[in-house]
Amino acid sequence: MEEGGRTQPLWLRMVAHLGLVVFSAIFCVPFLWLVSRSLMTNDQIMQEPHSLMDLIPAPVRLANYPDALAFKGFHFTTYLTNTLIICALTVFGTILSCSLVAYGLSRIYWRGRNVVFYILLGTMMLPAQVTMIPVFVVFAKLRLVDTFVPLILPAFLGNAFFVFLLRQFFLGIPRDLTDAARLDGCTEFGIWRQVVIPLSKPALATVGLFSFMGAWNDYLGPLIYLSDSSKFTLSLGLASFSSQYGQEPGMLMAATTVMTVPIIVLFFFAQRTFIQGITLTGLKG
C-alpha cells in the first residue's frame, strides 16, 4: 500500500480539480481576449460587448497582422532586428563574463576572492535606481546615448546573480577533474574552456535563457537610452505604438501577440530550463 505513495481521498481530488479548472480558465481569459481582439475590426473592438457572441471576431480580420507589421507607427522589422542584436550580445556577454568570473571565484585559490564574492553579493541588494543616474551621465558624456552600447556593455561586466548561480554549479564539479587537467599542464584558461564549460551546459543554458528574457523584456534601459525610433526595441516600440495610436486597437493587439508568441514558443522548447531556473532562484533563499 505504501510503495505507490499516498493517494488523497476522492473528494479532495475532485475539489482540487475543480479549483484548477476554474482558476486556469480565468488565467486564460487575457490570452483569449488578446487573440480574439487581434482578429477583430476596430469597430467591433470599440463596441461594448453584451453577449458571449460579441467576443468572437465577426468578421475575422487576419489583415491586422500584416497591417501591424507594415504600419508606419510601428517599424516591426527594425525593432525586431534591434532587439535580437541586443539580446544576442547580452546573452553572449553574460555567459562569457559570468562563467569567467565564477571560475575565478570557485576554481582558483587566491587571496581576496572571498572579498570580491561578498562585495558582489552585496550589490544584489542595491536598487538600480541608485546607480542609474550617474551611469547615464557617464554614457551621455561619452556620447553613447542613443546607441546600443549602454544596453550591452554591462552584460560583459558580470551580473552578480548569474555569477552566484554559476559559482554554485562550478563548486559541484569534482576537484579531481580540474586538478588532473592542471597536472597535465593545462592552463587555467584551458581548464575553463575544455573542462568546466562543457560540464556546465545546463547551468549555462539557464543563464543564457534568463539573460535573453531580461534583454527581450527590458523597458527601462531602452527608455532611458534610446530616443531615435530607428533604434527602438520591441518593448519600446510597442509601448510607443500603444500611447500614440489608440485608435488602432486591432493592429495594436496583433503587434502585442507577435511580441508575446516567441516567448511562449521558447517556453515550450525550453520548459525544463525555465522551471529549473525559477526553482533554483527560489531555492537559494
Partner 1 sequence: MARPATRQLLQGLGFCSPSIIGLAALMAYPMAASLYYSFCNYSVLRPARFIGTANYRHLLTEDELFRTALYNTAVYAVWAVPLGIVFAFVLALLLNVKVRGMAFYRTIFFIPSIVPLVASSVLWIWLLNPQIGGINFLLDRIGVDGLLTRFAETAPATARWLGFEGGRLPGWLSDPQWAKRGIILWSIWGVGGSVVIYLAGLQGVPKELYEAAEVDGAGAWHRVRHITVPFMTPYLFFTLVMGLIGAFQFFTPAYVMTNGQGGPVDSTTFYSLYLFNVAFADFKMGYASAMAWILFAIIVVGTVLVFKTSARFVYYGEGAGEGR
Chain positions 198 to 237 lying near partner 1, rule: CB under 8 A, are 213, 216-217, 219-220, 223-224, 234-236
Q: What is the CA radius of gyration of the chain?
A: 24
Which of 92, 156, 161, 245 is the binder for partner 1 (CB under 8 A)?
156
Q: How far is the CB of 255 from partner 1 (least distance, A)?
A: 8
Choose the binding region for partner 1 from 45-53, 63-71, 168-176, 199-207 (rule: CB under 8 A).
45-53
Dihedral angle, C-alpha 75, 81, 82, 87, nearest 10 °: 140
User: Which residues make Cβ contacts (< 8 Å) with residue 71, sequence separation at least 6?
Assistant: 241, 245, 248, 251, 255
Stretch that binds partner 1, among 61-69, 70-78, 178-186, 268-276 (CB under 8 A): 268-276
CB of 37 to partner 1, least distance (A): 7
* Among 225, 95, 113, 105, CA closest to 162: 95
- Rule CB under 8 A: say whether 47 interacts with partner 1: yes
Q: Binding residue for partner 1 (CB under 8 A) from 4, 59, 134, 174? A: 134
Give the binding range for partner 1 (CB under 8 A) out of 64-72, 84-92, 156-164, 200-208.
156-164
Using CA of residue 177, residue 178, residue 183, residue 184, what is the dihedral sign?
positive
- Measured CA distances, 65 to 184, 216, 217, 220, 249 (Å): 59, 21, 21, 27, 12
Q: Residue 163: what are its φ and ψ, rounded to 5°?
A: -60, -45
CA 271 to CA 4: how far, in whole Å? 27
Q: Counting contacts by CB under 8 A, is residue 41 touching partner 1?
A: no
Q: Which of 3, 43, 59, 128 touches partner 1 (CB under 8 A)?
A: 128
DSSP reduced 3-state for 95: helix
Largest CA distance in the chain: 77
The answer to whether the CB of 225 falls within 8 A of the CB of 154 is no
* Spatial distance between the Cα atoms of 217 and 240, rounded to a whole number of angstroms: 15
Q: Which of residues 2-21 bind partner 1 (CB under 8 A)?
A: 5-6, 8, 12-13, 16-17, 19-20
Please identify which residue in 60, 70, 81, 131 interacts with partner 1, judged by CB under 8 A: 131
Residue 219 CB, nearest approach to partner 1 (Å): 5
Q: Is 143 in the site for partner 1 (CB under 8 A)?
A: no
Query: Is residue 271 part of the contact set for partner 1 (CB under 8 A)?
Result: yes
Q: How many residues bind partner 1 (CB under 8 A)?
A: 98
230 or 244, CB closer to partner 1? 244
Residues 92-121 interacting with partner 1 (rule: CB under 8 A): 97-98, 100-101, 103-105, 108-113, 116, 119-120
